[in-house]
Amino acid sequence: MRFSTVAVLAIFGAVQATPIAAPEPVLETAVDAPIEARAILSGGEDFAPAQLEKRLDPITTSIVVAAGSALATKAVDAAVKAVGNAIKGLQNWDKVREEFTKKTVSEMWAKIDKKAYSAAVCYNMDYDAPNIDGKTSVAVKSGLLKTTYDCFFMKAGAQTFKGKGDGGFQNMAAQHDSRCTYDSKAITLTCK
């Protein structure tokens, strides 16, 4: 009797542990054609991509490291603070990065002695740039998204900034006067 009770319990336990596949839901339609999931879920109305775009967490800018003359680092710091407030309302991460680089170099260039400096640059990849001043590393963050830029001034005189990564305003912006020329394909800013 003992053996049969154990055997029955073992078989019952094995049956309970065996997964049973639930039937797959079937969507029946009047026509034999695929239907997009969003049409089923939304009752048929179509959403524009902007309505489905993910909202960003609050955007912050913070200075990580600053090195250089007091005048240059102060100008970069003021530019970063001014731009930080201007980009807080943006909801697209690519647009945040583009606006950060463009507006920061514009603010930097507006606040510096143009006789002493030939360009203002922000870049988020590796580069070669001799004779720079006010180099400030700035972190732009939104939740888990983060990009760190080096923003600095190129001192007046013959020199070249050479980016070692991608161009485009998401990664780089530079503002300069007629002493410099920019080659976007080579990511090179050459100043006389």
pLDDT digits (tens, 9 = 90+) for 45-85: 444 444 445 567 888 887 777 888 888 989 998 899 889 88
- pLDDT tens by residue, 108-139: 999 999 999 999 999 999 999 999 999 999 99
- Which of 12-21, 34-43, 90-99 is modeled with the greatest confidence? 90-99
Sequence-distant (≥ 6) Cβ neighbours of residue 29 within 8 angstroms: 35
Q: How many angstroms separate the CA atoms of 147 and 168, rounded?
A: 14
Residue 103: both structure tokens together = 């507006």
